Structure 1
Amino acid sequence: MAQSLVEYPQRVCRPTDFAPLARGADGVLRYGNLNPALTELLDVQVHAFSGREAVVEIGGPRLTYRQLWHSASRIAGGLQEHGIGYGDRVAVRLPVGVRWVQAFLGALLSGAVPVLVQDGLPAAVAERVLADSDADFVLADDFPDGAAYIDDGAALNELALLCYTSGAVAQDDSITPKGVELTNENLLSAIRSVVGALDLPTDGMRNLVLLPLAHASGCVDQLLPTFAVGGTVVLVPEPALIAETIVAERIDMVSATPRIFAGLLPELAGLRAEGVRQVCSAGHRTEVAATGPGTCEVVSAALREVFPLARQWSVWGATETSGIGLALADGGDTHAADLLGFPFGGTELALWGPRASAGRGELLCRGPNVAPRYWNDPQTTESRFTGSWFHTGNQVEIDAEGLVHRAE
């Protein structure tokens, strides 16, 4: 049978459609009135919320927006004194904590492109990531220090972040993850989509982020949207402290992967945190379904017991889609384990394959959050990007209501 591409353009308003989108000449839906660069958005928020806590590390530092911005700008100044400038790659190779956030922002403010090196990678794989990115500087143990510096001269279509995929590493540490080029428009659009979809408040929300910060889901979809609304990112290096942190830090939102939530159930047993209003799972229920029959239902029910007033969200995406794409709200009903959700923000879908016209095939995505290419890999770029469409590699079915199901 012949391969075909069948588009599912955005036609109806969803609960998560909150801002006008206009279709560009390339067919992609795009947000209007975005800041020209991520640094400018953050700079505005820093001045609006300067006295609020920006990031808290349990057992470590607590920084306000003013303190965080000042320390990051000193790192940026130090990088400048080391000859780092616009477009250079600066790798962030640190465990999760306040220092990670300072290093990431310092690289941004210097005008460089941060390269996220996932903590816990085998040493050989991490070194290949550094070599592949052609990193000009590595922020690890000691930070450079100089006069405060902020470079905010970037444009929407320019490279803002180099984020590496992680899927193949667990199976074969001889494989180098692929670098994904994320532009300012990709990042700003993802932030706008998450803030709108989850209706993030601007009154000082406190987000307990349990996701890896070196992944798109942790950095782009949790850290940056929280900063965009003047909230506080709370980081817990020690899992045994999570339950008491939720209470002591007055947490409003908890974000993790389904697998992380499943592993935390013993730590959360007996806790009833009525102050938490959002629980966000990045990834999907099928990640934990393989651990045994009914695991998804057990995890969802347990989370409802722990967070009885919280709205539960599942967000599915790939590094190439800035970590977002599909969303599913859990209103207390049991969802099928194969259900991924519906597109939100500016994400649109297509199916590719011989059965695409019948609603089954490989899932393709396009939108303002979709990366333009892989770093230094034109061959893979050509194979995974068809025009504005990104081939996810996931076989799915799309039903009459536009809901996406994982196909077996």
Structure 2
Amino acid sequence: MAYTKHGPFDTSGITRGPDGIARYDDLPVSLIEAVHASVQAHPDVEAIVEVDGVRLTYTELWARASEVAGGLRLHGIAPGDRTAVLLPAGADWVCAFLGSVLAGAIVVPVNTRLAEPEVDYVLRDSGAKYVFQPGEPLPSGPPAVHGDARRGDPVAIFYTSGTTGFPKGAVTTNENFLSNVETTIRVLKLDRNKGPALRSLISVPLFHVTGCNTQLLVQLAVGGTAVIMPAFDVRRFLTTIAEERINIVISVPAIYGLAIAHPDFTSLDTSRVTVVAYGGAPTSPTLVARIKHAFPSARVGNGFGLTEVASIATFLPHEWSTDHADSVGFAAPVVDLKLADADTRSGVGELLVRGPNRVPSYWNKPEATAATFVEGWLHTGDLARIDADGLVHIVDRAKDMINRGGENVYCVEVENALAGAPGVAEAAVVGVPDEIMGEKVGVVVVPTSAGSFDAGAMLAHLVDRLADFKIPQYVAVRDAPLPRNPGGKVLKGALREETEWGTLVRGR
């Protein structure tokens, strides 16, 4: 049974095709067409503002990006070739991304927080023929625009963390991007007729689908302004809201918690902010209440999604955000949901998602594609229940994953990296609840010999093997063997109940 209740969202102008997929009727053919329409309609409006850096109008952005496309052509990049972006967030990142699209290339946004071996894997797996590197000038050549873009063409590959330690590249098409753009406009109730007046502060990385797909591309499609922070600083975050006349803020719960707790927040005028959305991590009812109090003029909402659906799958609107803070909301417009193998008593099953925003495949991973994308449905790996009103409640993860402030950390990946760490006989990685970050990474260690375990040496072993955000912040030492079921699988639930975490060993 598919759940198609979409709550209070606008579902006009949607047609369900013979394949069962509901689609928006009047989408542009491509990202190129969508952005060019904004260039024509609003040539002198600021498209990109890099905080403390470059400011570009739509005319200037298009000119720079088309010159990057021309430069890529001079480097031998042809339509379908992959280009990788290793730049920090900012105007150059946008020009590299859009320039790649204008060249007809498939752009690979790379997580700049990955360790060197992880970056090397992404570059090798994607077969990137050109890499945008920090400190190097963007390629430049005679302006070029790919003139044969189609809705189903692959445009980008976003890599997700892998349960086996190998990331998977979600191949994202024009239709995926544009469907998510339209969904974002509808669930946030943005007035597309006032596009040039919309100013969104992007404080999350552009290599994530939240920053790129639900913020940057939405602004470029409606003719608004994307104000981009190259690096997050809580005080600069607050001053930028005021200085740049920000009216849309979308971030992870951790950033809101830090901002509201900052001493400068009390002097910030938040009356201009009309949209505040969050997601990407567990959110406590207490933090939701604090966000609504801090931004009294704003509609507040919680989004849930995955890289494999180009960002948004469900959304909890303002009217439900307080009384149903434990829910991630209703199916977004054009999104269908259903539960696989639901328990007859609890109603809990694996959440499946279908829609035009669902990516078609993983790059170079036919087996993973076949296992995850089945008969048009994405198997999310999240365990959920859906109530009679259509509200989705995520109750557990089928995948062994920690969501640390919006960054996915797969426990198996960290456990694999711990193999061979000094003093470690066995280790199990679990999420430790945190009010601000949602979860932090914890590891339970059984040492090779009692009374002589060096946690610092173990963590040092991980520094060159994992991205910083994946390295455990809590360490618990256990004398007894890890609890396991008869099949040898570690009982993570029992381990969480039995473990006392004490204080942080690293970070905040």
- Superposition TM-score, scaled by structure 1 size: 0.90
Kindly name which structure, 1 or 2, has the bigger radius of gyration based on alpha carbons: 2
Residue correspondence of structure 1 range 105-120 to structure 2 within 5 A:
105-120=98-113
Alignment-derived partner of residue 152 in structure 1: 147
Give 1:355 deviation, angstroms.
1.9
Secondary structure of the residue that 1:185 maps to in structure 2? helix
Instruction: Output the CA distance in 2 between the equivalents of 1:282 and 1:332.
Output: 15
Give 1:227 deviation, angstroms.
1.1
Are 2:253 and 1:258 equivalent residues in the alignment? Answer: yes
Task: Tell me: higher relative CO, structure 1 or 2? Use CA pairs within 8 A at least 6 residues apart.
Answer: 1
Paired residues, what number? 387
Alignment CA distance shift 1:333-1:223 (3 Å): closer
Give 1:354 deviation, angstroms.
4.8
Instruction: Output the CA distance in 2 between the equivalents of 1:207 and 1:396.
Output: 31
Give 1:13 deviation, angstroms.
5.7
Alignment-derived partner of residue 291 in structure 1: none
Residue correspondence of structure 1 range 274-313 to structure 2 within 5 A:
274-284=271-281, 286=282, 288=283, 296-313=284-301
User: Which runs of 5 or more residues in structure 2 are unaligned?
Assistant: 397-508
Alignment-derived partner of residue 182 in structure 1: 172
Secondary structure of the residue that 2:311 maps to in structure 1? coil
Alignment CA distance shift 1:313-1:336 (3 Å): closer
Secondary structure of the residue that 2:131 maps to in structure 1? strand
Partner amino acid for 1:57?
E
Alignment-derived partner of residue 310 in structure 2: 322
- Show CA shifts across 1:371-393 (max 9, x none): 11111101011111111000000
- Show CA shifts across 1:354-379 (max 9, x none): 52697320000000100111111010
Q: Is the 8 A contact 1:272 1:306 kept in 2?
A: no
Alignment-derived partner of residue 209 in structure 1: 202
Q: Is the 8 A contact 2:83 2:108 kept in 1?
A: yes
- Show CA shifts across 1:11-49 (max 9, x none): x56321243221112111112222211111111111111
Task: Report the RMSD for the aligned CA atoms in angstroms.
Answer: 1.8
Give 1:209 deviation, angstroms.
1.1
Instruction: Output the CA distance in 1 between the equivalents of 2:298 and 2:142.
Output: 44
Instruction: Output the CA distance in 1 between the equivalents of 2:342 and 2:393.
Output: 18
Q: Is the 8 A contact 2:203 2:237 kept in 1?
A: no
Residue correspondence of structure 1 range 9-408 to structure 2 within 5 A:
10=4, 12=5, 14-140=7-133, 141-166=136-161, 175-201=165-191, 202-203=193-194, 204=196, 205-236=198-229, 237-239=231-233, 240-267=235-262, 269-270=265-266, 271-284=268-281, 286=282, 288=283, 296-331=284-319, 334-355=322-343, 359-408=347-396
Q: Is the 8 A contact 1:85 1:111 kept in 2?
A: yes
Partner amino acid for 1:318?
L
Give 1:306 deviation, angstroms.
2.6
Instruction: Output the CA distance in 1 between the equivalents of 2:116 and 2:246.
Output: 35
Secondary structure of the residue that 1:85 maps to in structure 2? coil
Alignment CA distance shift 1:379-1:127 (3 Å): same
Instruction: Output the CA distance in 2 between the equivalents of 1:272 and 1:164.
Output: 38
Q: Is the 8 A contact 2:285 2:326 kept in 1?
A: no
Q: Is the 8 A contact 1:272 1:305 kept in 2?
A: no
Instruction: Output the CA distance in 2 between the equivalents of 1:162 and 1:333.
Output: 32
Secondary structure of the residue that 2:385 maps to in structure 1? strand
- Give % identity: 39
Instruction: Output the CA distance in 2 between the equivalents of 1:283 and 1:163.
Output: 16
Deviates more, 1:72-81 or 1:156-165: 156-165
Instruction: Output the CA distance in 1 between the equivalents of 2:316 and 2:82.
Output: 35
Q: Is the 8 A contact 2:386 2:392 kept in 1?
A: yes
- Show CA shifts across 1:94-123 (max 9, x none): 111111111111111111011110121111
Instruction: Output the CA distance in 2 between the equivalents of 1:133 and 1:322.
Output: 18
Instruction: Output the CA distance in 2 between the equivalents of 1:162 and 1:94.
Output: 16
Q: Is the 8 A contact 2:80 2:105 kept in 1?
A: yes
Instruction: Output the CA distance in 2 between the equivalents of 1:263 and 1:120.
Output: 20
Give 1:59 deviation, angstroms.
0.9
User: Which runs of 5 or more residues in structure 1 are unaligned?
Assistant: 1-5, 169-173, 289-295
- Superposition TM-score, scaled by structure 2 size: 0.73
- Show CA shifts across 1:64-95 (max 9, x none): 11111101111110000111111110111111
Alignment CA distance shift 1:333-1:28 (3 Å): closer
Instruction: Output the CA distance in 1 between the equivalents of 2:273 and 2:342.
Output: 45
Instruction: Output the CA distance in 2 between the equivalents of 1:376 and 1:327.
Output: 31
Alignment CA distance shift 1:222-1:49 (3 Å): same
Secondary structure of the residue that 1:365 maps to in structure 2? strand
Give 1:320 deviation, angstroms.
0.3
- Show CA shifts across 1:121-176 (max 9, x none): 111101110111000111123211101111131111111111111476xxxxx823
Alignment CA distance shift 1:354-1:345 (3 Å): closer
Instruction: Output the CA distance in 2 between the equivalents of 1:151 and 1:357.
Output: 54
